[in-house]
């Protein structure tokens, strides 16, 4: 759980957003990649 909440904080995602992405089958690496795209 600690890793999950840290990831949420790093990506700036709410828990609802994280759960939504997780249900869609997007893994951690994809989430990090997408967050990099959104930052630029």
Q: Tell me which DSSP letter residue 25 carries.
A: T
Per-residue pLDDT, 13? 64
Per-residue pLDDT, 8? 64
Per-residue pLDDT, 7? 67
Residue-wise pLDDT for 1-40, tens only, equals 567 667 667 776 676 777 777 777 767 777 778 777 777 6
C-alpha R_g of the chain: 10
Per-residue pLDDT, 1? 52
Measure the CA–CA gap between 40 and 20, rounded to whole angstroms.
23
């Amino acid at each position: 759980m600690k890793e999950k909440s840290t990831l949420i904080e790093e990506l700036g995602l709410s828990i609802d957003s994280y759960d939504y992405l997780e249900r869609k089958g997007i893994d951690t690496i994809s989430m990090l990649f997408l967050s990099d795209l959104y930052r630029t």
